[in-house]
Amino acid sequence: MVPDFCTCGAQLPPDARFCHKCGKPQYDYPGLTEETPAEVPPPLPAPPQAQTPLEISFHNRLAVRIGFLAALTAVLLFMFPLPFPFLRLLLAFIAAGFLAVFAYTRRTGQMLSIRSGARMGWITGIFSFTFVTILFTVAMVAISNEGGLVKFFRSQLPPNDARTEQLTQALNNPATLAGGLAFSVIMLFVILTALPVLGGALGAKVLAKE
C-alpha cells in the first residue's frame, strides 16, 4: 500500500513509487536485495628474484679486495726467512690463489667454476706481481746507492771466482743489463700470475666437491 502523504509532507498520487518532491521511494520491491561487491583479495607479493652472481673481474670490488689481501699475505709469507726459497715461492703463491677463492666463496656463498677460480687467481697474481715489482725496485735503488750492481754481485760470489769478470762485463754493458732486467721482469710476471691462477682453479675444484 502507498501512503497518501510522504514524510516530507507532499501528497502522493495513487501507486506512486517515488515522492515527486523529495524522491524518496514509497515501498520496497520484494525479492530484490542490494548486491555487495565481492572482496578482491590483495595481490600476492612478487617472489624474490634470484640475484645474478657477479662476474669475477676487476669490476667486482669484493673480488679485487680479497685478491689484494691474499696477494699481500703471500708476499709477506714469501719474505719470511725460511729455508728452500723456491719451494716457499711455489707454496706461498699457489696458496694465495686457493685462499682467495676460499674467502670469496665463504663471503658470498657463490660456488665458483674452475674458470672463475682461475680468474680469481689471476687478480691475486696481478697484485702479487705489483707488490714484488715494488719491492724489487726498492731493492735496486738501495743497491745502487751502496755502490751499484757490480759491487753487490761481487760480494755475493766467492773471491777469485771466474764468473766475477764475466758478470762485471755484462753489468757494464747497458744493452746486456737492460735485456737481463726485461727478461727478469717477464719471468717474474709469468711465475707470479701462473701460480695463483693454478691455486685458484684448484681451490674452485676442491670447494665444488664439498
Residue 32 lies in a domain: no
Is the per-residue pLDDT at 29 higher than 60? Answer: no
In this structure, are residues 199 and 93 in contact, taking their beta carbons and an 8 Å threshold?
A: yes
pLDDT digits 0-9 by tens, 34-48: 555 667 677 777 665
Residue 51 lies in a domain: no
pLDDT digits 0-9 by tens, 159-210: 666 666 666 666 667 777 678 788 888 999 999 999 999 999 999 999 887 6
pLDDT digits 0-9 by tens, 141-158: 776 776 666 666 666 566
Min mean pLDDT across 24-28, 118-122, 127-131 is at: 24-28
Phi and psi, residue 11, nearest 5°: -80, 130
Residue 122 lies in a domain: yes
Most confident of 77-86, 109-118, 179-188: 109-118
At residue 142, the pLDDT reads 77
Confidence of residue 73 (pLDDT cuts 50, 70, 90): very high
- Kindly report the pTM of this predicted structure: 0.66
At residue 207, the pLDDT reads 87
Residue 21 lies in a domain: no
Domain range enclosing 87: 61-208
Min mean pLDDT across 83-92, 101-110, 170-179 is at: 170-179
At residue 46, the pLDDT reads 65
Residue 156 lies in a domain: yes
Between the two ends of the chain, the Cα-to-Cα distance in Å is 88
Report the domain count for the chain: 1
Residue 12 lies in a domain: no
